[in-house]
Amino acid sequence: MSPFPLGRPARLAVLASGRGSNLEALLRAFPPEDPLGRVVLVISDRREALALQKAVQSGVEAEYVPWPKGEGGRARFEEVAGQLLCERRIDLVLLAGFMRILSPQFVGQWAGRILNIHPSLLPAFPGLHAQRQALQAGVRETGCTVHFVDAGVDTGPIVLQRRVPVLPGDTEETLSARILAQEHLAYPEAVRRVLRGEARP
């Protein structure tokens, strides 16, 4: 069922809503000459997302696709984004700080070819504010998870995790920064594993 390994450089698309530091890590890890893959498309649901600027600075196609408010907004986004992904012949979709929930139908079309990164050791602390949830739960260790996306929220098969300690005096900010540094290592490594056919859903 998995198309990987492809035997040619994979065409990667990144979906991001904000700052785009994971996008930057992926751009650094997959330069245009990498035989395994390259980022060829960045899509954001927010026009002002730094991620779009970072894509442009790297010479990568950047597309703002609105997510209209109200009923039908998601379907409209998925129609336009889905068409872009098909037209650009994308092999693997990477959600990197994409703060929307995609429909089961959309995710189903990309089954085995769509990954997400989440700032906790899933299945612990899914959903929003995972770092705050970890602090409130009083755990001594947390981390980040890269996983295949399925119809649930942060529930798909795990590709890899990296752990960090929760330290006395940690705030949401200090803990998030410690996790983020590990995300920037985890995401490129997870993508490599998937592209080599070493990790399958």
**Site residues for ligand GAR per CB under 6 A:** 16, 18-22, 96-97, 117-119, 130, 180, 183
* Planar angle of CA 109, 111, 116, nearest 5 degrees: 115
Judged by CB, which is closer to ligand GAR: 6, or 160?
160
Q: Name the strands in the sheet holding 10-15, side by side, starting at the edge strand that comes first in the sequence.
A: 61-64, 37-44, 10-15, 92-95, 114-118, 141-148, 158-165
Judged by CB, which is closer to ligand GAR: 95, or 195?
95
Q: Burial of 130 by CB count in 10 Å (0-12 exposed, 13-18 middle, 19+ buried)?
A: buried
Question: Helix, strand, or coil here: 45?
Answer: coil
Minimum Å gap between C-beta 71 and ligand GAR is 23
Judged by CB, which is closer to ligand GAR: 118, or 162?
118
Judged by CB, which is closer to ligand GAR: 18, or 37?
18
Minimum Å gap between C-beta 45 and ligand GAR is 13
- In the residue annotation, 118 being an active-site residue is answered as yes
State the helix-helix crossing angle for 130-137 and 172-195, rounded to 10 degrees.
120
State the helix-helix crossing angle for 50-57 and 21-29, rounded to 10 degrees.
20
Among residues 118, 129, 147, 184, the one annotated as catalytic is 118
> Residue type for 26, please?
L
Strand partners, 117: 146
Closest residue by beta carbon to ligand GAR: 97
Minimum Å gap between C-beta 131 and ligand GAR is 8
DSSP state at residue 93: E
Minimum Å gap between C-beta 25 and ligand GAR is 8
- Which residues are tagged catalytic? 118
